[in-house]
Chains A and B, each alone.
Chain A
Amino acid sequence: MKIAIVNYGMGNIYSVQSALRFLGVESEFTNNRNELLKSDKIILPGVGSFAEAMKIIKRLELDKVIKEAVLENNISILGICLGMQLLGISSTEDGYTEGLNLYDGFVEKFNFLDKRIKVPHIGFNEVVKPDDTILYKNLSNNLDFYFVHSYRMTTKNKNGVAYCNYGEPFVASFERDNVFGTQFHPEKSQSNGLALLKNFINY
């Protein structure tokens, strides 16, 4: 099993690799088209600005490669945090930017009238498991995962969407066909996160 972690210069890859290694899986940090197309599964990490990320991804032509890998080669992809957001249609972070359009979700900033609800949303928070799921297979409901984000996704999809509540419900994770995304960091969510990563790897 070879997991490719997309290298576009943004994202805490060290922790993702450590988690995968702990689970007994080797991973390669790459932005090489051939390696990505040959991989068994792809992880798209991400920390930072959506606009900045898409700029780099487009410059490296990774948008084309990722779409080819997912849509033509049917390789499964897991987007983590910003990586999950990038799989969506668009984001309003730093202006309006289009995403990879692999999942129909929109990303906007948390905007609370009640200023006591602080942004970014940082910390562990409970996630409601969706009915039909690969990621949460054999996991109990209402487990805590680690979130750290100011922007969040909303979607009209009902299937495969796990919600978390922070001032309002927002998409904690989605899964549809071979496209998966988690707003939280499974590699930072202790045993809960490791179990979820294992589900993605093994399915």
Chain B
Amino acid sequence: MLSRNFRLQKVGDFSWLKKYYNFEKIAFSLDELIVLDVTRENRNIDEFSSVLKDIVKNVFLPVSAGGGIRSIDDAKLLLNSGADKVVLNSTLYSNKDLIRDLVKIYGSQFVVGSIDYLTENNINNVFIENGTVKIDKRLEEYIDDVEELSIGEIYLNSIQKDGTGQGYDISLLDDVFKKITTPVILAGGAGNAFHLIDGLRQSSVDAVATANLFNFLGDSLPKSRRQIIENNIPIAKFH
């Protein structure tokens, strides 16, 4: 069963993206940018890499890129197109050798492992392939497997909360996160600055991510950053 939140909004072509996700204007409110190609059919990494180049041309902050990376050449292409890190999801499960190779060649900090999970009947199930295929590992075990690959960061996304704008899945944190030694990026559900602040307050969370459209429009991100600072959460200051 697909959570309704995974029905992707068709947002049109790149010019729409440029108009509404005007990164140059909001770049100074961000610490990092993640760009994911969630195309379902006919994914074309060459096209994606040129979109990536265009997005990062005038922003000077760390960029992670991912979506369908299946080989070292794919990763190399994105690195040469402006990415600092690559994000891998299904590959974490289905091709661990590739992960090990990427870590060996580029360093662990180059690899971000993305994990989508959904809690059903008190069991935290892990999904791959854009959240459509359930694998036979529970989140806790899966995180152990992933940590063995020595990647740089874990991007943990709650399928349940994703797209709801109702806040992150904080409840999971103590049990699952306490023993993770890899830096964690919390994702899925942020709708306003308070969610971001709540997430950042958790000691086991190193970063919070949002893809919520409303967080990108207008003044939201600069305002959120100001609120985070006002709440005494240590965050970078850019003049």
Contacts and interface: CB of A to CB of B under 8 A. Distances in A.
Interface of A: 12-15, 18-19, 22, 47-49, 52, 115-116, 118, 120, 122-125, 140, 143-144, 146, 148-150, 185, 187-194
A120 B79 CA distance: 19
A52 to B, nearest CB: 7
A150 B82 contact: no
Interface of A is mostly: mixed
Contacts, number: 103
B53 interface: yes
A148 B62 contact: yes
Interface in B196-222: 203, 206-207
B237 A18 contact: no
Contact of B60 (A120, A143, A188): A188
Given A48-B107, A148-B85, A150-B107, 11 more contacts: A13-B80, A14-B53, A47-B106, A49-B105, A115-B181, A124-B235, A125-B236, A144-B238, A149-B109, A188-B61, A193-B60
A115 B178 CA distance: 11
29 contacts: A12-B82, A12-B83, A12-B84, A13-B80, A14-B80, A14-B81, A15-B56, A15-B63, A18-B57, A18-B58, A22-B58, A47-B79, A48-B106, A48-B107, A52-B105, A116-B203, A118-B181, A123-B31, A123-B206, A140-B239, A143-B239, A144-B237, A146-B31, A185-B62, A190-B28, A190-B61, A190-B238, A191-B238, A193-B60
Interface string B48-92: 000001001110111100000000000000011111110000000
A124 B236 contact: yes
Given A12-B82, A122-B183, A47 B110 contact: yes
| Interface residue tally on B, bucketed by range | 35 or more
B110 A48 contact: yes
Q: 5 closest A-B pairs (Cβ-Cβ)?
A: A124-B236, A144-B236, A190-B238, A120-B109, A148-B109
A148 B84 contact: yes
Main secondary structure of the interface of B (DSSP, over half): loop
Contacts of A148: 62, 84-85, 109, 152
A150 B183 contact: no
